[in-house]
Structure 1
Amino acid sequence: MASSTPAGPDGPVPAPPPVRAPTAPRGRHRLRSAVAAVLIVLAVLLTPLAVVAAWSESEITDPDRYVATMAPLADDPAVQAAVTDRVTAAIVERLPVESLVSDLVPGGAPLLDALLQRLGSALDSGVTGLVHDGVQRLVQSDAFPAIWDELNRSAHAAVDRALTGKGGGAVEIRDDTVTLDLAPVIDRAKQALVADGVAAADRIPEIHTSYVLVRSDQVDNVRTLVRLLSLAGYWAAVLAAACAVGGVLAAVRRRRAAVAAALGVAAAAGLLGLGLTAFRAVYLDRLPAGVDQDAAAAVYDTLVRYLRDAVRLVLVLGLLVALGAWLSGAGRSATAVRGLWQAGLGGVRTAAGRMGLRLGPVGRFVHRFKAWLCWVAVGAAVLVLLLWSHPTALVAVWLGVALLAVLAVVELLDDPGAPAGPAKEVGP
């Protein structure tokens, strides 16, 4: 049998040793995976903190945001009823009934005393009803939302002091209760009563009474927590994003790490949303018996509505990022989805070409810089989201749709041009 080893002038030449592909040390891969896992877990754990901190910073530093948060309460029937009862009680308590009756009875003090003794509780009930009707008309009128906004705008300056426990201003924290001073509403109610013919209301002194916004035995703890979160501000969100990006960059399989990080962040936001719902039930169950449950629920839902919007935004963003990272991968399912996408758009491009549409230099330019154009589109979408003032989940969805449309246009314009034909042989 002939030997397969080639022969040289000095005998058989030994075969060269097999060349092995260079491999990174396993220890290095394990270290990178461990660092990536730690950073991604930190990003997931920081997500609820970052969402709440950004919401706290926005509510405290932006007066317009705070007024917009509280504005829906002016039209809530339960809150209108609670404010009406509180303002009515404060006015009736200080309304000079003797002066009110003397305006109607010109017979002097003896007749007035006799009338007051005979009427008794009926007079008190009648006066209360008269004041209640006047206050209710004010609270249910179109003018009340403006009064409510003015009250909350002036109260915003005191929110920071209230959160630090110093008190003062229109918002105060006393013991386990956060209250809002209704003096401006009472003043407008007195003016309305005078306009309705109750001249004695003009002699009521300035009244400061409170409307309970929040009542809980955990107010002090929540106040401290909110203060810390407001100090953290948007830096908590920056730290969470940095941990997520760092974890993806440190990972050996970055695309898989990106999917895991995005889904983890979305899950953390979802858990925060569930926690807000659970805390709502616990908070309402622990309220004292005399507190209006409907009004308390309306106040809670209004205070956290922008926080819920932030939760939905992070949840949607996480799902969109995870979907994009998965679709750009090399998996069988992702490849099949991309194939359907490219085949569908390719069919449209082919049909357009049959109708005489030629892309020419544009198609060749897009084909050459297709990857760059796609990344520019993604970067533009991210920039718009970052510059958007208080984006919502709906904004994120529409940005995703717009990005998808841009990517579809890029795919449609991708035309490498006609392939070059074989070179002709030049004879002698």
Structure 2
Amino acid sequence: MAELESARHESHHRLRALGSTVLIFVASVLALLAVVAVWANSIIRDTDRYVATVAPLASNPDIQQAVTNRVTTAVLDQIDVDALVKELSDAASERGVPPKVGTLIGKLDGPITNGIKQLVSTTVMKVVSSQAFETVWTDANRRAHAAVDKALTGSSDSVVEVKDNQVSIDVAPIVTQVKEKLVDSGLAAASKIPDVHTDFVVMQGQDVGKVKTYLRVLQIVGNWLPVIAVLVAAAGVFTAYHRRRALIGAAIGVFLAMLLLGLALTVFRSVYLDHLPAGANQGAAGAFYDALVRFLRSSIRAVGALALVTALGAFFVGPSRPAVFTRHFFSRGIASGPDVALSSGLKLGPVGGFVHRFKTWIGAAILLVAAIVLFTWNYPTMMVVIWTAVIVLIGFAIR
């Protein structure tokens, strides 16, 4: 009978261990998905977040070069070099220049074209490198994001419309500034350049329907998925027979999930750049990708740091020799605190007794406040997690 009871008990432990392992694995996967979902939802729905993501690109050399090439092409398409050369030849004839010289001017269309291209390119680069471009870039991206939000949600408060099933960034103000500077430089033909709208397509219409579906899913799970991940992890820890070890395992699982996600971002960057269309600016595409996932990487580091702190905390409250030694080492230093305070003439009064009497509740309150801070902080960074952990440790040290 005793052997049967022992076997039943052991089987029960194995089932609990298996259930705990499965729940912890699912929680780790959900944590990975939650980080991505929250990031994607914030990028799509939060205009300020999106602008903060792409605004630094205005000073990126690769982005500046890509915009320079696009604007230069748009401006040159509006300048009739043949007509300009003919005007020069006619002007030379009217001023009594020998016919051979006028004919020679007519044959200089190649060098003149190259000179105009160089002048336009240099002028565009100066404009794109100025502070004015940063303002234009930020405003254009803000309007484009409003158009994306309108296209995906059907909201009517956006002043930008999606035309021809495309959402684009218009940098026409840059063309206008270039036009004015070319005229000031003596290129009178630039004054005839009409208003040119140079667009950067950020979304194709064929993708809008799919993204609408994805957005709806993100709206449903984006805010709840982190909570679900925590609840599943808690269920996995509660199911386990050795709950402290299960907590360490859950924290390590989340930490490994964040490592995997960070690695996936790096691999996907290479895949993305390798599949760009022919002639695309890889430097600009890489810079845009890095900017777009910057906050995602920050979230990965924050969640990874929180998981690592949790695993270390669960380990150091355990019965292992390193954990006991560490607790004993710090407890001796902390225990001497009141004696040091008294020897320094500092009277603790009733506060010391109160803290000692309710130290368990004070510890629980510290952990609760730390949890509230992390869960209510919109976009906690790794440093927020680290400083929160430091403050918690200090709170436990002085209680």
1:125 maps onto 2:114 in alignment: yes
Distance 1:364 1:98 in 2: 94
The residue aligned with 1:363 is 352
From 362, 365, 381, the equivalent of 1:373 is 362
Distance 1:26 1:171 in 2: 67
Distance 1:47 1:378 in 2: 21
Distance 1:285 1:83 in 2: 21
* Structure with greater Cα Rg: 1
Q: Trace 1:68-107 onto structure 2 (pairs within 5 A).
A: 68-97=52-81, 107=91
Task: Please report how far the alpha carbon of residue 151 of structure 1 lies from its aligned counterpart in structure 2 after TM superposition.
Answer: 0.8
The residue aligned with 2:274 is 285
1:388 maps onto 2:372 in alignment: no
**When you count helix as a share of all residues, which structure comes out higher?**
2
Task: Please report how far the alpha carbon of residue 25 of structure 1 lies from its aligned counterpart in structure 2 after TM superposition.
Answer: 5.3
Task: Please report how far the alpha carbon of residue 272 of structure 1 lies from its aligned counterpart in structure 2 after TM superposition.
Answer: 0.3
The residue aligned with 1:21 is none
Distance 1:140 1:388 in 2: 36
1:398 maps onto 2:392 in alignment: no
Which deviates further from its counterpart, 203-212 or 235-244?
A: 203-212
SS of aligned partner of 2:131: coil
Contact 1:262/1:321 (CA < 8 Å) preserved in 2? yes
SS of aligned partner of 2:241: coil
Task: Please report how far the alpha carbon of residue 389 of structure 1 lies from its aligned counterpart in structure 2 after TM superposition.
Answer: 3.1
Deviations 1:39-87 (A, max 9, x none): 2111111122111111110011111111111011111111111110111
Q: Trace 1:105-184 onto structure 2 (pairs within 5 A).
A: 107=91, 117-160=106-149, 169=161, 180-184=169-173
1:341 maps onto 2:330 in alignment: yes
Contact 1:100/1:198 (CA < 8 Å) preserved in 2? no
SS of aligned partner of 2:91: coil
Task: Please report how far the alpha carbon of residue 307 of structure 1 lies from its aligned counterpart in structure 2 after TM superposition.
Answer: 0.9
From 40, 47, 53, the equivalent of 1:63 is 47
**Percent identity (aligned):** 43
Deviations 1:188-239 (A, max 9, x none): 4334434545444343233333447699xxx899968964763432222222
The residue aligned with 1:5 is none
Structure 1 residues 257 and 204: CA distance shift in structure 2, 3 A: same
Task: Please report how far the alpha carbon of residue 93 of structure 1 lies from its aligned counterpart in structure 2 after TM superposition.
Answer: 0.6
Contact 2:81/2:109 (CA < 8 Å) preserved in 1? no
The residue aligned with 1:273 is 262
Q: Trace 1:212-223 onto structure 2 (pairs within 5 A).
A: none
SS of aligned partner of 1:74: helix
Contact 1:35/1:247 (CA < 8 Å) preserved in 2? yes
The residue aligned with 2:218 is 230
Distance 1:254 1:143 in 2: 59
TM-score, length basis structure 2:
0.83
Distance 2:263 2:187 in 1: 51
Structure 1 residues 233 and 190: CA distance shift in structure 2, 3 A: farther
The residue aligned with 2:248 is 259
Structure 1 residues 364 and 77: CA distance shift in structure 2, 3 A: same
SS of aligned partner of 2:348: coil
Q: Which runs of 5+ in 1 are unaligned?
A: 1-23, 411-428
Task: Give the counterpart letter for 1:278 in structure 2.
Answer: V
Distance 2:17 2:105 in 1: 86
Deviations 1:246-287 (A, max 9, x none): 222232222111111111011101100011111112222333
Which deviates further from its counterpart, 100-109 or 299-308?
A: 100-109
The total of aligned residue pairs comes to: 378
TM-score, length basis structure 1:
0.77
Distance 2:163 2:330 in 1: 57
Which deviates further from its counterpart, 178-187 or 32-41?
A: 178-187
Structure 1 residues 116 and 28: CA distance shift in structure 2, 3 A: farther
Distance 1:316 1:330 in 2: 24
Contact 1:173/1:179 (CA < 8 Å) preserved in 2? no
Distance 2:210 2:269 in 1: 14
Distance 1:332 1:171 in 2: 68
The residue aligned with 2:233 is 244
SS of aligned partner of 1:379: helix
RMSD of the alignment, in Å? 3.4
Structure 1 residues 36 and 224: CA distance shift in structure 2, 3 A: farther
Q: Which runs of 5+ in 2 are unaligned?
A: 1-7, 96-101, 154-159
Distance 1:172 1:272 in 2: 36
SS of aligned partner of 1:94: coil
Task: Give the counterpart letter for 2:38 in structure 1.
Answer: A
Task: Please report how far the alpha carbon of residue 352 of structure 1 lies from its aligned counterpart in structure 2 after TM superposition.
Answer: 2.7
Deviations 1:119-143 (A, max 9, x none): 2122221221221121111101122
Contact 1:187/1:206 (CA < 8 Å) preserved in 2? yes
